[in-house]
Amino acid sequence: MHYQADVADVVYRYDGTMQGFLCCVFESFRRRELPCGICSPEEGRLTLFPEREIATDPARARRVLTGIERLGGGVRQRFMTAFLSTDPEKEQILLRYLRLAFATGRGVDRMLGDPDVAAAWQLERAVNGEAHHFLEFIRFEERDGMLGAVIHPQNMVLPLLRPHFCSRLPDEAFLIYDATHGIAMLRRGNEVRYLEMEDYDRETSPEEQQWQMLWKRFFRALTIEPRRNERCQRTHCPRRFWRDMCEMQGGCLEVPGQSRKALEEPRNA
């Protein structure tokens, strides 16, 4: 370890927000200690060690954040992104990373050979990787002129999707519903809001169904049978994304007035 702190037999409990976590970092510095656990409200209350409730104080949080910003964009970005992870160890990993960062100064983000930095980097990579998959695999549907999509991410990826989709759809209203965490990101006009949401009904209008049918048939027509390689398909597009991708669902290929046979007629007969 490159900094002065003792592991203390205490568990911090905080409110789960980034501000709250920054206050945990503050506490850890003030007491020169490393807690043996940091728990958010979602995590079970059973711990072996005495707990200490860490109050969220915006002023303290601000101070820590300013400190982080002084360490450079790379450090800040890694922290912000990794914090979106839902890994149960993330608080511990990030606390160690930040303590090392404050002790080492700028450039710490490039010390990937260090175990603490590498651990934070892995978190960041996992979150970014997942977010990138959603840039690829989100499927919008249109309802009353507005676009809506459902996703089931492991991590809290919505904030990372925001810049991409706002740039891609500059004049559209859209909503992305994170069904895992019950949060929706709503963009309307020049404003983006995050809302709690419980449920999302899929659109069933004939026009929307028609678009999905077109897409599915396009998707199917593109497949080259002699090259079939489903393992390769799954490495690029893991199964957990399929549930929200319309082309991976069966059905809906039929068009009224057209028999199935016409679709399956071999082409090079």
Partner 1 sequence: MELAEKLEILADSAKYDVACTSSGVDRGGRHGSLGSCVAPGICHAFTPDGRCVSLLKVLYSNACSYDCSYCVNRRSNDIRRATFDPRELAELTIGFYRRNYIEGLFLSSAVVATPDLTMEKMIEALRILREKYHFRGYIHAKAIPGADPLLVRRLGYLADRMSVNIELPSADSLQRLAPDKKKSAVLAPMGQIAAESKQNRRELQLYRSAQPFAPAGQSTQMIVGASPETDRHIMGLTEALYKKYSLKRVFYSAYLPVVEDSRLPALTTRPPLLREHRLYQADWLLRYYHFSAGELLSEEEPNFNPYLDPKCCWAIRNPAFFPVEVNTAAKEDLLRVPGIGPKSALRIIQARRMQHLGMAELKRIGVVLKRAQYFITCNGYLGAHGTRAEIANALLDPKAFGVGVQQLSFDDCMPKALPDAAPELHRLTAEGMDVLQAAALLKQEAVTCITRQM
Write out the residues near partner 1 by the rule CB under 8 A: 107-108, 110-115, 118, 135-142, 147, 149, 164, 166-172, 211, 213-215, 217-233, 235-237, 245, 247, 255, 258, 262-263, 267-269
Helix axes of 73-83 and 90-104: crossing angle, nearest 10 degrees: 170
We find the least distance from the C-beta atom of residue 165 to partner 1, in angstroms, to be 8
Which residues, 6 or more positions from 225, have their beta carbon under 8 angstroms from its beta carbon?
none
Q: Which is nearer to partner 1, 26 or 177 (CB)?
A: 177
We find the least distance from the C-beta atom of residue 48 to partner 1, in angstroms, to be 29
Q: Which is nearer to partner 1, 47 or 104 (CB)?
A: 104
We find the least distance from the C-beta atom of residue 73 to partner 1, in angstroms, to be 15
Q: Which is nearer to partner 1, 62 or 188 (CB)?
A: 188
We find the least distance from the C-beta atom of residue 105 to partner 1, in angstroms, to be 11
CA atoms of 133 and 71, how far apart (whole Å): 29
Q: Which is nearer to partner 1, 49 or 218 (CB)?
A: 218
We find the least distance from the C-beta atom of residue 71 to partner 1, in angstroms, to be 14
Q: Which is nearer to partner 1, 195 or 232 (CB)?
A: 232
Q: Which is nearer to partner 1, 30 or 267 (CB)?
A: 267
We find the least distance from the C-beta atom of residue 131 to partner 1, in angstroms, to be 12
Which residues, 6 or more positions from 232, have their beta carbon under 8 angstroms from its beta carbon?
none
